[in-house]
């Protein structure tokens, strides 16, 4: 029984450690996992809403039943894919005030809880799109989101409940403009490609110079113990590139870089190993040639399994994209999340490579040999870890946010649709109510029911 929030955090950290072991060669990701778990992101609270209930100790279950206060939601009968734990068939997930309070078979459910009968359905944590545009505003979602935007609905219909919009990790909540942001997150965009050798040199030198400076700072700290008048090294020159280099070297920020060829991957990994900074690589199409490379430098990867890249004939070596990329990286223990080629959702699924097909992109990696559970992780807990919100979302665990999607089939099947999307214990999307996909295999049937009323409506009909 978990007594208080702190111990749940410790437990979470342990879980992260345990689950990370099979995939991670380097130690930096484990450390990152622990650091994230101990430093819960601050959540913005604005407007007239009352402050959130503090994450206080969870009361005993009996007490809960005696004095049931708060909003309960129970999803019953589903096959629960917890991601970080086991799969529970015919189980129930109970949430209270937007947080998961218990998971299991035959658990006690208060009478006044809102119940969803999800028997025959599959329950997953809400999907996390590592990067997106047009799903939740731009910048601070609270001040930019259109609460009735179609993009949000289509995102939910694709199973996405949280995403990083380029500056904040936000939830796809409709009809409100408060409490959307999970945390602020920014990466340092790094360009270190063979196409621009001058820039590469400049960056390397900046790193060297800042590293030298940091050594001096360290030395100064030691000197100061004996001699309080020791002069601190000048740091006025640390601006621009130097400042970003310092934040990377100090581990305050994570670098993000789009790298495709094995040549560039080798170069940037060398840089990362030499200076020891954390890094996320987007693309990494040719990483399959030397999957251990990324594992050794402790990088995380954002993969697009369906992206196509031809071999560079001039180099003569192996190259180009491979369907096995995800599988090989997984086997080498490189943590990765999966994203479609387009970060938008405006294509309306016509091209099939935008965020409305996020699970299908992961399924394509399974086609290349990736285990299914790893594919599901790559669109749930892995992006959550990379975005530093794994303590809140990304898996179904007691104490985490009640963000679920309930699918009418397996998540990775091309036949499956999201039946309900739930965020913070509230139904945000219901396929049968939305008029978006309600006519496609409604409730498992083949044909949609005939509409009761057509346009133009008859005069005198109720509105």
Partner 1 sequence: MKRSYFRSVTRFLLLMLLVQPLTLIGAPDDPQRVTVIRAGRVITGTGEVLEPGEVVIDEGKITLVGNQLEYPKNALLIEAPGQTLMAGMILARSSYGLQKLSRNGTHCNESPLRQLDEELMPWEDFLEAGFVAASLVPDGSGFPGHAVVVKTTPESSDRILKASAYLPFNGRSPTGIYSSIEKGFGTARGEIEKIKKAREKWDKEQEEAKKKAEEEAKKNTGDSASGEEKSGKPEDGKPGDDKPKEFQPPEMNPAVIELVKILEEKDDALPIVFFAQNPGLILHLDSAMSSVKELKDRDPLSIFILPGSRTGAFHEVLELLTERKATVLVPPALSAFPDTYTRIHIPVALARSGCTVVTLPATDNPTGMRGVPAKLAELVRYGLSREDALASVTLEPARLLGLDDRMGTVEQGKEPHFVLFDSDPLEPGARVMKTIIAGKVVWDREDR
Q: Which one of 1, 47, 54, 195 is in contact with partner 1 (CB under 8 A)? A: 47
Applying the rule CB under 8 A, the residues between 414 and 443 that interact with partner 1 are 435
Residue (134 or 359) nearer to partner 1, CB? 134
Query: Binding of partner 1 at residue 51 (CB under 8 A)?
Result: no
Residue (134 or 137) nearer to partner 1, CB? 137
- The span of 58-66, 221-229, 344-352, 451-459 binding partner 1 (CB under 8 A) equals 451-459
Applying the rule CB under 8 A, the residues between 187 and 206 that interact with partner 1 are none
Query: Binding of partner 1 at residue 349 (CB under 8 A)?
Result: no
Instruction: Show the site string, 144-183: x = touches partner 1 by CB under 8 A, - = not.
Output: xxxxxx-------------------------xxxx-----
211 to 10, 245, 462: CA distances (angstroms): 33, 9, 73
Query: Binding of partner 1 at residue 341 (CB under 8 A)?
Result: no
Residue (151 or 305) nearer to partner 1, CB? 151
Residue (313 or 453) nearer to partner 1, CB? 453
Residue (121 or 174) nearer to partner 1, CB? 174
Query: Binding of partner 1 at residue 451 (CB under 8 A)?
Result: yes
Query: Binding of partner 1 at residue 48 (CB under 8 A)?
Result: yes
Residue (111 or 455) nearer to partner 1, CB? 455
Residue (168 or 278) nearer to partner 1, CB? 168
Q: Which one of 106, 234, 310, 453 is in contact with partner 1 (CB under 8 A)? A: 453
Residue (1 or 459) nearer to partner 1, CB? 459
Residue (444 or 451) nearer to partner 1, CB? 451
Q: Contacts from 2-11 at CB under 8 Å and sequence distance 24+?
A: 2/58, 2/398, 2/399, 3/57, 3/58, 4/56, 4/57, 4/58, 5/55, 5/56, 5/57, 5/399, 8/398, 8/399, 9/37, 9/38, 9/40, 9/391, 10/37
Distance CA 155, CA 129 (A): 9
CB of 449 to partner 1, least distance (A): 11
Q: Which one of 3, 43, 89, 143 is in contact with partner 1 (CB under 8 A)? A: 143
Number of residues that bind partner 1 (CB under 8 A): 26
- The span of 10-18, 207-215, 216-224, 452-460 binding partner 1 (CB under 8 A) equals 452-460
Gyration radius (Cα) of the chain, Å:
24
Residue (308 or 454) nearer to partner 1, CB? 454
Residue (329 or 423) nearer to partner 1, CB? 423
Query: Binding of partner 1 at residue 4 (CB under 8 A)?
Result: no
Query: Binding of partner 1 at residue 50 (CB under 8 A)?
Result: no
- The span of 21-29, 378-386, 404-412, 446-454 binding partner 1 (CB under 8 A) equals 446-454
CB of 23 to partner 1, least distance (A): 41
CB of 396 to partner 1, least distance (A): 30
Residue (175 or 197) nearer to partner 1, CB? 175
Query: Binding of partner 1 at residue 458 (CB under 8 A)?
Result: no
CB of 453 to partner 1, least distance (A): 6
Query: Binding of partner 1 at residue 142 (CB under 8 A)?
Result: yes
Three-state SS annotation for the chain? CCCCHHHHHHHHHHHHHHHHCCCCCCCHHHHHHHHHHHCCCCCCCCCCCCCCCCCCCCCCHHHHHHCCCCCEEEEEEEEEECCCCCEEEEEEEEEECCEEEEEECCCCCCCCCEEEECCCCEEEECEEECCCCCCCCCCCHHHCCCCCCHHHHHHHHCCEEEEECCCEEEECCCCCCCCCEEEECCCEECCCCCCCHHHHHHHHHHHHHHHHHHHHHHHHHHHHHHCCCCCCCCCCCCCCHHHHHHHHHCCCCCEEEEECCHHHHHHHHHHHHHHCCCEEEEECCCHHHCHHHHHHCCCEEEECCCCCCCCCHHHCCCCCCCCCHHHHHHHHCCCEEECCCCCCCCCCCCCCCCHHHHHHHHHHHHHCCCCHHHHHHCCCHHHHHHCCCCCCCCCCCCCCECCEEEECCCCCCCCCCEEEEEECCEEEEEHHHHCCCCCCCHHHCCCCCCCCCCCCCCCCCCC
Select from 28, 130, 34 the least CA-distant residue to 381: 130
Query: Binding of partner 1 at residue 452 (CB under 8 A)?
Result: yes
Query: Binding of partner 1 at residue 455 (CB under 8 A)?
Result: yes
Tell me which residues touch partner 1 (CB under 8 A).
46-48, 137, 142-149, 175-178, 435, 451-455, 457, 459-460, 463
């Amino acid at each position: 029984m978990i007594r208080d929030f702190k111990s749940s955090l410790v437990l979470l950290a342990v879980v992260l450690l345990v689950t990370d072991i099979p995939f991670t060669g380097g130690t930096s990701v484990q450390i990152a996992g622990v650091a994230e778990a101990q430093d819960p992101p601050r959540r913005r609270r604005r407007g007239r809403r009352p402050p959130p209930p503090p994450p206080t100790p969870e009361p005993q279950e009996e007490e809960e039943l005696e004095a049931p206060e708060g909003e309960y939601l129970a999803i019953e009968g589903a096959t629960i894919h917890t991601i970080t734990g086991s799969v529970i068939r015919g189980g129930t997930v109970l949430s209270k005030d937007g947080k998961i309070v218990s998971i299991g078979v035959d658990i006690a459910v208060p009478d006044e809880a809102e119940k969803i009968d999800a028997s025959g359905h599959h329950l997953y944590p809400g999907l996390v799109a590592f990067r997106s545009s047009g799903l939740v505003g731009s910048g601070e979602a609270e001040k930019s989101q259109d609460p009735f935007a179609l993009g949000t609905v289509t995102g939910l219909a694709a199973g996405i409940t949280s995403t990083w919009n380029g500056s904040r990790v936000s939830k796809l909540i409709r009809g409100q403009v408060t409490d959307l942001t999970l945390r602020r997150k920014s990466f340092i965009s790094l360009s270190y490609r063979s196409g621009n050798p001058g820039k590469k040199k400049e960056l390397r030198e900046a790193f060297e110079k800042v590293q030298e400076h940091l050594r001096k700072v360290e030395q100064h700290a030691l000197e100061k113990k004996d001699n309080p008048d020791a002069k601190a090294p000048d740091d006025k020159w640390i601006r621009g590139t130097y400042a970003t280099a310092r934040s990377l070297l100090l581990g305050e920020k994570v670098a993000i870089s789009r790298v495709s060829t094995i040549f560039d991957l080798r170069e940037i990994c060398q840089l990362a190993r030499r200076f020891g900074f954390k890094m996320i690589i987007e693309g990494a199409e040719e990483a399959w040639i030397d999957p251990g490379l990324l594992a050794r430098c402790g990088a995380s990867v954002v993969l697009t399994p369906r992206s196509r890249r031809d071999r560079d004939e001039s180099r003569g070596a192996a190259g180009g994209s491979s369907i096995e990329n995800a599988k090989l990286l997984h086997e080498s223990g490189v943590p990765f999340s999966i994203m479609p080629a387009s970060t938008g959702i405006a294509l309306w699924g016509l091209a099939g490579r935008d965020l409305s097909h996020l699970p299908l992109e992961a399924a394509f990696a399974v086609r290349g040999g990736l285990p299914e559970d790893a594919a599901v992780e790559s669109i749930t807990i892995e992006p959550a870890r990379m975005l530093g919100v794994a303590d809140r979302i990304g898996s179904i665990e007691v104490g985490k946010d009640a963000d679920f999607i309930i699918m009418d089939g397996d998540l990775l099947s091309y036949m499956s649709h999201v039946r309900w999307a739930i965020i913070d214990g509230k139904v945000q999307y219901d396929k049968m109510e939305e008029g978006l996909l309600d006519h496609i295999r409604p409730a498992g049937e083949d044909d949609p029911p005939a509409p009761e009323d057509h346009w133009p409506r008859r005069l005198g009909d109720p509105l």
